[in-house]
Structure 1
Amino acid sequence: MMKDNENLENLESQENIIENEDTNLNENIDIEENTEDLKEEAQVSEDKKKEEDELNMFKKYKDENKKLTNELETLKDRLLRVSAEYENYRKRTTKEKEGIYTDACIDVLKEIVPNLDNLERALEANGNIEDMKKGVEMTLKGFRTALEKLGVEEIETKDGFDPNFHQAVMHVQDENLDENSVAEVFMKGYKRGDKVIRHSVVKVAN
């Protein structure tokens, strides 16, 4: 009888141990499940934050791109306006230059045309040498007057040879002339201000 009681107590003890183990096992399972849930929640939260960050970054880049696009369009518009203004300026200055050139040509021709009249009169002298000579002299005088009005001057040679104004085509040895002086003028030179129209063609003494 006593032995049966011991067996019964052992059996109850084993049952209690098993129940405790089951309880501990269930608790461990609950802890693991809670841990997994927390991990999943943390992962979801992290993924959501990452997605929000990416969305914010995309929005930022989109805004910057829009801003740069607007600035580019503004610069393009400004460039087009500047180009149009420059083209108008170029056309205007070209037209003004052409007008100035035309006016200058007309001024020159106004001075020259009367001399053409004198030459025609000289040719109408009907063989009279004296009248023809007078006509040529009048024409020559008219040309000189016209050149003077236009600011054209004859290049001087009295101060000696100057390569800036004279072109030497011959050299001569002459004891009666100073060295580098102009011995003879083959063709007169002309200038207007500091601008040489034609160099004097000369013979130079060495």
Structure 2
Amino acid sequence: MQGNHELEPKPDQINAAESATDNQAVDQPEVMPSTEELLRQAELKASEHHDAWLRAKADAENIRRRAHEDVQNANKYAVTKFATELLAVKDSLEMAMKDNSSVENIKMGVEMTLKQLVSAFEKFQVVEINPEGQKLDPHKHQAISVVPADVEPNTVVSVMQKGYMLADRVIRPAMVVVSKAKE
């Protein structure tokens, strides 16, 4: 019987539990918010989300506009460094035109100017295509004539105009004369 006695709550425990339940009922009544209140809260949240969406949309538009302007400026001024290098070449050519000295001095000036130009090309990865004696590569060469020759067919016999590549891209194919098979 003593075991059953321990399971029964004591009178002061019962009073404390009842008063706690009564306090909860008085302090926190379980009242459902009105539909007007729920609607007002939903409208506030919708307004906040709409404002956030408008700001995000405006930010995205500003980023897109700035990126477009950056691309335009990059395209517009991409050759600035290259053009600056070519100014020295132009200056040398103008000095050669003013100089009325001997043919030997003019030739020396033109050679120096050509060295400046080649140096500028190397600096900006402009590579010459001079394919004489090589097999025709339609990606780098443009055959303008075919002639009989003592070499393997489709071999570049002579170069009429050198081609050029910028980095890995052909900017002007070499214009070449190609050999044809003997009849």
TM-score range, shorter chain: 0.5 to 0.7
Question: What percent of counterpart residues are identical?
Answer: 33
Give, in whole Å, the separation in 1 of the partners of 2:137 and 2:61: 45
Residue in 2 that maps onto 1:118:
92
Partner of 1:166: 141
Is the helix fraction higher in 1 or 2? 1
Query: Which segments of 5 or more consecutive residues in structure 1 lack a partner in the other structure?
Result: 1-58
Aligned-partner residue type, residue 190 of structure 1: Y
* Count of aligned pairs between the two proteins: 146
Q: In structure 2, how many angstroms separate the alpha carbons of the residues matched to 1:168 and 1:73?
A: 69
C-alpha RMSD of the superposition: 2.8
The counterpart of 2:61, out of the listed 83, 87, 107, is 87
1:132 has 2:122 as partner: no
Are residue 142 (structure 1) and residue 150 (structure 2) matched?
no
Match of 1:151 in 2: 125
Mapped partners of 1:120, 1:182: distance in 2 = 36
Counterpart amino acid of residue 186 in structure 1: M
Gaps of 5+ in 2: 1-33
Moved more, 76-85 or 115-124: 76-85
Normalised TM-score (structure 2): 0.67
* CA separation of 1:168 and 1:65: change in aligned 2, threshold 3 A: farther
Mark the structure with the bigger radius of gyration: 1
Structure 1 residues 75 and 145: CA distance shift in structure 2, 3 A: same
Higher relative contact order (CA 8 A, sep 6+): 2
Cα contact 1:122–1:134 (8 A) shared by 2:
no
- For normalisation by structure 1, the TM-score amounts to 0.60
Question: AA paired with 1:192?
Answer: L
SS at match of 1:197: strand
